[in-house]
Amino acid sequence: MTQTIFITGASSGIGKATAQYFHDKGWNVVATLRDPAQAGDLAALPRVLVTRLDVTNGASIAAAVDAAQARFGGIDVLLNNAGYGAYGPLEAFDMEGIRRQFDTNVIGLLEVTKAVLPGMRAQGKGVIVNISSIGGRMTFPLGSLYHGTKFAVEGLSEALHYELEPLGIRVKIVEPGMIATDFSGRSFDFRQTPELTAYQPVVDKLFAVLGSPEMAATASPPSVVSEAIWAAATDATPRLRYTAGADAAAYMAARSEQDDATFIGGVKAQFGLGR
């Protein structure tokens, strides 16, 4: 029986690459995005349903899940991929901006998961793959909001692992490193205001490092994440976390082997931060 994966944030990058990857493996694919007109060549593929879903809009979530079940009869794998990164000094964000980051990366993920769970419970099986980041287990400067959401994804996923495993539903976390997508473009929300001059030296250092050829050279193509998602979705073991990218593996190894002072000191050195 052909299996079905339901993907949020499928307009580009990891989501679109994964939709293509699973389709090529013979799966049914529900590719959801805020604007279905951006689906491009996905819309022409057989066994692919393109439908609208905004993770901050409950009605669109419910409608997308209903459409998926009507077309394919059920959802075997949920890929919670939709998200973006808010970076900059905390003082530069108003509460609307703070809530938008958490509504998209955390609350939206939870609402999509809740919408899919009844069908998986009825089936007695399913897999939920949540896209976190190495930024869910370590941090970079000026990323309090983004890292806050990814640390939340790590925690909620680990807790859900306990409660859903007895129901036959596996929870998996995929942790990409630097990926060559448009995350630093339209999916990157950086804020700084002119009056917050005290933070500008850190802002300058952040962009110098993230925009450096050395950092760009570590970025993996989205296909690397698609392969990790495939491994997670098809792994029947209780394994919880999967890294994606050589840099992710290196960072996570260092994080597990070093104490806080050593690891954080290394990040400070990488960004040229004193003290």
- For the annotated catalytic residues, the residue numbers are 132, 146, 150
For strands 126-131 and 169-176, give the pairing.
Answer: parallel
What would the 3-class secondary structure string for 68-122 be?
HHHHHCCCCEEEECCCCEEECCHHHCCHHHHHHHHHHHHHHHHHHHHHHHHHHHH
The letter for the amino acid at 201 is P
The helix or strand, by DSSP H or E, that contains position 243, with its residue range, turns out to be strand 241-244
Give the chain's count of helices (H) and strands (E). Answer: 10, 9
Contacts of 97 (CB under 8 A, 6+ apart): 86, 145, 189, 191
* 210 DSSP β-pair partners: none
> Which string of DSSP letters, residue by residue, matches 8-35?
SS-SSHHHHHHHHHHHHTT-EEEEEES-
Query: How many whole angstroms separate alpha carbon 239 and alpha carbon 161?
Result: 10
For strands 4-7 and 77-80, give the pairing.
Answer: parallel
Query: How many whole angstroms separate alpha carbon 6 and alpha carbon 28?
Result: 9
